[in-house]
Amino acid sequence: MMARMLSSDKQPPDTEVRSSTNLHGSVPMARRLNVNVGVLGHVDSGKTSLVRALSRVTSTAALDKHPQSQERGITIDLGFSAFFVKTTVGADEAADERERELQFCLVDCPGHASLIKTIIGGAHIIDLVLLVIDATKGVQTQTQECLVIAEILAQHVVVVLNKVDLIPEEQRHKKLEKLTTGLRKQVFGRTLFGSDVPILPVSANPGAEQDVTRLAEPIGIASLINTMVDTVRRHPPRRPSASDAASSSAPMHMVYDHSFPLKGKGTVLTGTLLSGRLEVGQNIVIYPHAVQTRVRTIQSFKQDLPCASHGDRVSICVPAIGGEKLERGMVTSVGAPLPTLTSCVAVVQRIKYFKGQVRSKAKFHCTIGHTTVMANVHFFGLKRKNKPTTPTANTPSAANGHPPSPSSSPCHDGLSPASVSNPSALGVGLLVREKAAAWPDTLDVSLLYDHLDELPAERPPGGVGGESGGDGGAVVDAAEFELFFCLLHFEKPVQCPLGSLLMGSKFDLDAHSPSCRLAFFGRLLTPISDTDVPMSSLRVLKPKVKTGHVDRVTEDGYCVIGKDLFKKETDISQFVGLRVTHEPSKHVGVIEGAFGTSGKFKVRFADPLPSEWWQAGKKRGGGGGGGGGEEGNDGGLGGRGRDSLVLVYQKNAFDKKGKLMQAA
């Protein structure tokens, strides 16, 4: 199989790779489909060489044009380039209508561990991943992290075994077969991509020639293009049509990753449309500085366009923006302001490959688009029994965790619930697609949630695990919960649409360790602030257990004086009415109030304690007295040891003045 791939490097009869001198000939723009391809892999695996071998048109910062990239010999920023393939897509249309020109936009992501934030930023706009593996080294540290990113953010992956020319020809076939078999069984078979992913041998730059004017003919590139085209044919990215009312009315959001001044023209921004439509002459707002301006021209890889839509990679020229340094950010349509978030609730899921603790009150690097900020996290969950079977009149079904119907649900800044479950939406990979059908559109503050000391991992099928705890935290079974949420407090304000995908990571861990640094992923739901949803309105219950001891029992056995449950300065009135359990008799009583000023309290039982218990209390010193007498080694209770009074209650984790609660 490998030998056949290496020897066969021809185009199929119904595809045509367009040359750089004839890019935009016969196929109308309406029939051009832009496919964003993320090129990911470990540092120095040959990603940029592969992009160079594939590319016919380059754009901003492509092929390591950045001065530091050339100096250090590695990619340090995102690079964009493209090639075009004329082919047929879709079986339900007439033959002439099926003709398409595929514009493969290649996003060359850096591979160095320290640049993982840039990788995530580039990967959230992709439809397809080319995962590049050095055939002489196999899977390396950043290969694993890139695979996790691909699983979260992409639907399909094509594996490229690069540098096959470095394997001696007499050993090449055997070694490639062994490597391919191992990858299928040990790596991809354990992911949602499955073991049958396309794996192709390639040599993008035979001989590792550094002089670009003397590059040798690459090996396996045509077979790779055939595979990419075949993948798009079978799974075409779904783009809204011009007649799609929902798409045309959705707010426009474009994420830009490069900007530069163009003398005599203005300022150029290059990026990808995440939603809506963009037209020449349209008024827009450029963030992070909220500069309102107008679109003068639109181009896509050197071709002028009148408009662009969801998924397109474009550059826009606007009047010169002076005094503001623009690097990365977002462009929106006027009338659709971008929220500025300091705190937000997100629905989240733990990444199974992360082996560390994902604890509440810890700090994580949170990446949203091209922005990465530190955030303090607090996890909580919705237990299955707490989820209503039918929504109430004032509680939308989406807010209760039920997936809303696309036709009836409102959009959140241009990202409708349909975009979450759309199998071809940008930034919606297999992991997100698997979970997103159950993700709500917003947080329902009328429901009761459970505080989590740690975000639990899912229990593997037929296995053990899926629990969290430790450090005094309660053990939690992930299977008990319908959904997991996280309250994020950002150290710096974040500007992004609600509904944006986020990834939580521990980038401060050793970058050279084989351990995955990506901890959880999710989607932003609800801003938390005094003007939006106050934090005190979140009903997140944190269990508390206090244990006191019996000081004395009254003559009739109905009343007990307890101690050691509260401090002297505690306001016992807030605990009045709460139930306590007498151990070991299991009788349940109710706290009536304080007894004296030393922290002691009075408990009344509905039924008297068994006589052997309260008689023991009487022997201890009888009723009356505020402080009680001296205890013997057995606590004065007839040799049985100290009787306990156990108080179990729940407190709102985000409302310090809130009422204490107990389960029914």
So what's the pLDDT on residue 259?
87
So what's the pLDDT on residue 25?
44
Least confidently predicted of 431-435, 482-486, 539-543: 431-435
Pairing between strand 99-108 and 32-41?
parallel
128 close to 155: Cβ distance less than 8 angstroms: yes
So what's the pLDDT on residue 214?
78
Q: Name the residue with higher pLDDT: 573 or 614.
A: 573
User: CA dist 55 to 34, 58, 91, 153, 578, Å?
Assistant: 14, 7, 28, 23, 71
Least confidently predicted of 152-166, 341-355, 382-396, 452-466: 382-396
SS3 content of the chain, % helix, strand, coil (to 5): 20, 35, 45
Would you state the structure tokens that stand for residue 385, as one six-digit string?
């029994």
Across 43-180, the runs of DSSP E, i.e. the strands, are 57-58, 79-88, 99-108, 128-134, 156-162
Least confidently predicted of 92-106, 251-265, 442-456: 92-106
So what's the pLDDT on residue 101?
83
State the Cα–Cα distance between residues 473 and 58, nearest whole angstrom. 53
Mean predicted confidence (pLDDT) in 247-253: 75
Q: Name the residue with higher pLDDT: 58 or 148.
A: 148
Least confidently predicted of 202-211, 242-251, 620-629, 653-662: 620-629
Mean predicted confidence (pLDDT) in 208-216: 74
So what's the pLDDT on residue 107?
82
The one-letter code for the residue type at 167 is: I
pTM of the shown model: 0.78
Mean predicted confidence (pLDDT) in 280-289: 94
Residue 664 pLDDT exceeds 50: yes
Residue 366 pLDDT exceeds 60: yes
So what's the pLDDT on residue 1?
53
Residue 615 pLDDT exceeds 60: no
State the Cα–Cα distance between residues 477 and 382, nearest whole angstrom. 12
So what's the pLDDT on residue 19?
40
Q: Name the residue with higher pLDDT: 40 or 510.
A: 40
So what's the pLDDT on residue 202?
95
538 close to 654: Cβ distance less than 8 angstroms: yes
User: In this predicted model, what pLDDT tens digit does every residue of 22-55 receive, in sequence order?
Assistant: 344 444 555 678 888 888 888 888 888 898 888 8
Core vs surface per residue 257-271: b (16+ CB within 10 A) or e:
bbbeeeeeebbbbbb
So what's the pLDDT on residue 640?
44
**All residues at 6 or more sequence positions from 134 whose CB lies less than 8 Å from its CB, including other chains:** 41, 42, 44, 45, 46, 140, 162, 163
Q: Convert 37-89 into a string of H (helix), E (strand) and C (coil).
A: EEEEECCCCCHHHHHHHHCCEECCCCCCCCHHHHHHCCCCCCEEEEEEEEEEC
Confidence of residue 608 (pLDDT cuts 50, 70, 90): confident
Confidence of residue 540 (pLDDT cuts 50, 70, 90): very high
Which homologous superfamily is 340-538 in? Translation factors (2.40.30.10)
Q: Name the residue with higher pLDDT: 399 or 190.
A: 190
In CATH, what is the architecture of 541-652? Answer: Beta Barrel (2.40)
Residue 473 pLDDT exceeds 90: no
Least confidently predicted of 2-11, 38-47, 483-492: 2-11
Mean predicted confidence (pLDDT) in 268-274: 88
State the Cα–Cα distance between residues 317 and 267, nearest whole angstrom. 6
C-alpha dihedral (485, 490, 496, 502), degrees to nearest 10: -40
- Residue 646 pairs in a beta bridge with 547, 581
In CATH, what is the architecture of 2-234? Answer: 3-Layer(aba) Sandwich (3.40)
**All residues at 6 or more sequence positions from 464 whose CB lies less than 8 Å from its CB, including other chains:** none
User: How far is it between the farthest Cα atoms of the chain?
Assistant: 104
Across 109-155, the runs of DSSP E, i.e. the strands, are 128-134
The one-letter code for the residue type at 328 is: R
Confidence of residue 659 (pLDDT cuts 50, 70, 90): confident
Q: Within its chain, how far is the Cα of 625 from the centroid? A: 61
So what's the pLDDT on residue 519?
94
Confidence of residue 510 (pLDDT cuts 50, 70, 90): confident
Residue 224 pLDDT exceeds 50: yes
- The structural domains of the chain, with segments of one domain joined by +, span 2-234, 245-333, 340-538, 541-652
Q: Name the residue with higher pLDDT: 458 or 11.
A: 458
So what's the pLDDT on residue 306?
94
Residue 210 pLDDT exceeds 80: no
Confidence of residue 106 (pLDDT cuts 50, 70, 90): confident
So what's the pLDDT on residue 433?
84
User: In this predicted model, what pLDDT tens digit does every residue of 571-598 receive, in sequence order?
Assistant: 999 999 999 999 888 999 999 999 999 9
Mean predicted confidence (pLDDT) in 535-539: 91
Least confidently predicted of 434-448, 497-511, 513-527, 628-642: 628-642
Would you state the structure tokens that stand for residue 249, as one six-digit string?
């009315």
The winner for highest mean pLDDT among 14-28, 82-96, 458-472, 547-561 is: 547-561
Would you state the structure tokens that stand for residue 114, as one six-digit string?
């320290």
Q: Do domains 245-333 and 541-652 have the same CATH topology?
A: no
Mean predicted confidence (pLDDT) in 50-67: 59
**Three-class secondary structure of residue 453 per DSSP:** coil
Would you state the structure tokens that stand for residue 390, as one six-digit string?
């039918």
Residue 133 pLDDT exceeds 80: yes
State the Cα–Cα distance between residues 377 and 4, nearest whole angstrom. 52
For the chain, the average pLDDT equals: 77
Q: Name the residue with higher pLDDT: 374 or 310.
A: 374
Share of the chain above pLDDT 70, in %: 71
Confidence of residue 116 (pLDDT cuts 50, 70, 90): low
State the Cα–Cα distance between residues 78 and 258, nearest whole angstrom. 9
Residue 379 pLDDT exceeds 90: yes
State the Cα–Cα distance between residues 559 and 624, nearest whole angstrom. 12
**All residues at 6 or more sequence positions from 92 whose CB lies less than 8 Å from its CB, including other chains:** none
Q: Count CB atoms within 10 A of the CB of residue 128.
A: 21
Q: Name the residue with higher pLDDT: 310 or 615.
A: 310
Share of the chain above pLDDT 90, in %: 38
Across 186-334, the runs of DSSP E, i.e. the strands, are 199-201, 253-262, 266-275, 277-279, 283-286, 291-294, 297-300, 303-305, 307-309, 313-318, 329-333
Residue 365 pLDDT exceeds 90: yes
Confidence of residue 522 (pLDDT cuts 50, 70, 90): very high
So what's the pLDDT on residue 207?
82
Q: Does domain 245-333 have CATH number 2.40.30.10?
A: yes
Mean predicted confidence (pLDDT) in 114-123: 56
State the Cα–Cα distance between residues 442 and 439, nearest whole angstrom. 9
- φ/ψ of 109, rounded to 5, equals -95, 145
Confidence of residue 639 (pLDDT cuts 50, 70, 90): very low
Least confidently predicted of 173-182, 233-242, 252-261, 529-538: 233-242
Q: What does the chain come to in residues?
A: 664
